[in-house]
């Protein structure tokens, strides 16, 4: 019923796109284009990943270069420039170092993000929350101290001049 298709009287489950895996101990140098299929890096990659799908860097994986993906999950180490259209997840002992541009960010306990991180700027839609001015900080009641009364002192002309608190007036006669 759900996710099954009948073909010639037999039932078959609908298969998700096959994942591409760069296995542990493998080294790749260059560019990888995956389209919408997912990619899992368990070895080392130096170069560029271009994906419209999900890229996962396994705990044994190490990527140096640029990653352009819809979604990126890092459990290993990634260094370089990362442009993620959706969510960047740094899980466990994952390490991301470099310049990151993303939509959303999730950093698990133990995960590390070093470098610059910026969020995609998109045009506001009708369902997007309206940005508001920041609310000024108001001190708590126990931190509040009443202002000191203004002090005035006579000047040489006989009128009173304002003297800021803590300043001693110059008395010339």
Query: Residue 71 half-sphere exposure, CB side, CA atoms within 13 Å?
Result: 12
Write the pLDDT tens digit of every residue in 3-37.
444 444 444 444 455 588 999 999 999 999 998 88
Distances (CA, A) of 164 to 137, 148, 153, 169: 25, 10, 10, 9
Between 5 and 88, residue with greater pLDDT: 88
| Single pTM value for the model | 0.61
How many residues does the structure list for the chain?
Answer: 173
| Highest-confidence segment of 31-35, 119-123, 149-153 | 31-35
Q: What's the pLDDT at 142? A: 58
Q: What's the pLDDT at 157? A: 55
Distances (CA, A) of 32 to 51, 63, 93, 152: 8, 12, 25, 76
Percent of the chain at pLDDT exceeding 70: 59
Vertex 78: Cα angle to 34 and 68 (nearest 5): 35
Is the sign of the CA dihedral 12, 22, 60, 103 positive or negative? negative
Please check the confidence at residue 148 and state whether its pLDDT lies above 70: no
């Amino acid at each position: 019923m759900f996710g099954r298709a009948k073909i010639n009287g037999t039932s078959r489950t609908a298969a998700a796109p096959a994942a591409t895996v760069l296995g542990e101990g493998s080294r790749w140098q260059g560019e990888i284009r995956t389209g919408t299929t997912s990619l899992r890096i368990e070895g080392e990659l130096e170069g560029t990943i271009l994906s419209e799908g999900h890229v996962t860097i396994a705990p044994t994986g190490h990527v140096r270069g640029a990653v352009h993906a819809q979604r990126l999950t890092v459990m290993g180490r990634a260094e370089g420039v990362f442009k993620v259209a959706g969510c960047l997840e740094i899980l466990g002992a994952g390490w991301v170092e470099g310049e990151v541009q993303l939509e959303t960010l999730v950093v698990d306990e133990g995960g590390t993000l070093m470098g610059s991180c910026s969020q995609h700027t998109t045009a506001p839609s009708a369902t997007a929350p309206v940005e508001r001015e920041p609310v000024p900080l108001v001190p708590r009641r126990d931190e509040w101290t009443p202002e000191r009364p203004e002090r005035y002192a006579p000047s040489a002309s006989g009128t009173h001049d304002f003297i800021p608190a803590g300043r001693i007036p110059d008395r010339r006669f």
